[in-house]
């Protein structure tokens, strides 16, 4: 049995960086796979022995006439519907922004299974902002660095029961 993990969060928090890390070398093939929509990039993800499908809400970066807010909501709702679990990512360097609270509310309303991740957590700034993440009311944040590969063990621990 496997599961589907959706990476959600506002632009620039590091979703695609983590997607690339989870998908690894297979990334180049991802866009060519049938069934991949324009806005949600999907690929086979893996941490150690845990295998799953990972969805990146890629369309947040695309130029469009639609407002970013509306687009964020639509894409996130679709990702939530497709996924078994959502990794809700914030930027631990800047802390919780109003846009992050919008996402938190969408996820709560959808009754999504959420894992909170404070990405870009490799520096000292994250020592303080990680506390803000608790206040989102989505449980204990995983401090990680998608770029440097930190926190992957903790992520593995929370994903293992799903596999």
Alpha carbons 141 and 104: distance in angstroms, whole number: 13
The 26-65 contact track toward ligand GDP, x by CB under 6 A, reads -----------------------------------x----
Complete DSSP assignment for 49-104: TEEEEEEE-GGGGS--SS-HHHHHHHHHHHHHHH-SEEEEEEETTT---HHHHHHH
62-121 residues near ligand GDP, rule: CB under 6 A: 119-120
Give the 3-state secondary structure of residue 119: strand
Residues binding ligand GDP: number (CB under 6 A): 15
Only one of the segments 62-70, 80-88, 127-135, 143-151 lies at the binding site for ligand GDP (rule: CB under 6 A); that segment is 143-151
- Confirm or reject binding of residue 119 to Mg ion (CB under 5 A): no
Of 5, 6, 8, 14, which one interacts with ligand GDP (CB under 6 A)? 14
Instruction: Tell me the closest approach of the beta carbon of residue 111 to Mg ion, in angstroms.
Output: 25
- Confirm or reject binding of residue 145 to ligand GDP (CB under 6 A): yes
Alpha carbons 8 and 108: distance in angstroms, whole number: 13
The 13-32 contact track toward Mg ion, x by CB under 5 A, reads --xx----------------
CA distances from 1 to 6, 55, 105 (A): 17, 17, 30
Alpha carbons 77 and 1: distance in angstroms, whole number: 24
Of 5, 6, 17, 71, which one interacts with ligand GDP (CB under 6 A)? 17
Interface residues toward Mg ion, by CB under 5 A:
15-16
């Amino acid at each position: 049995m496997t599961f589907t993990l959706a990476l959600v969060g506002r632009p620039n928090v590091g979703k695609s960086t983590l997607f690339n890390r989870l998908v690894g070398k297979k990334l180049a093939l991802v866009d060519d796979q049938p069934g991949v929509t324009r806005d949600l990039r999907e690929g086979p993800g893996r941490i150690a022995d845990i295998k799953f499908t990972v969805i990146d809400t890629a369309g947040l970066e695309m130029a469009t006439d639609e407002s970013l807010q509306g687009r964020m909501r639509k894409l996130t709702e679709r990702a939530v519907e497709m996924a078994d679990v959502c990794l809700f990512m914030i930027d631990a360097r800047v802390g919780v922004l109003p846009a992050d609270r919008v996402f938190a509310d969408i996820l709560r309303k959808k009754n999504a299974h959420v894992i909170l991740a404070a990405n870009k957590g490799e520096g000292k700034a994250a020592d303080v902002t990680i506390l803000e993440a608790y206040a989102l009311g989505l449980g204990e944040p995983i401090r990680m660095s998608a770029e440097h590969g930190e926190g992957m063990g903790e992520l593995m621990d929370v994903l293992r029961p799903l596999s």
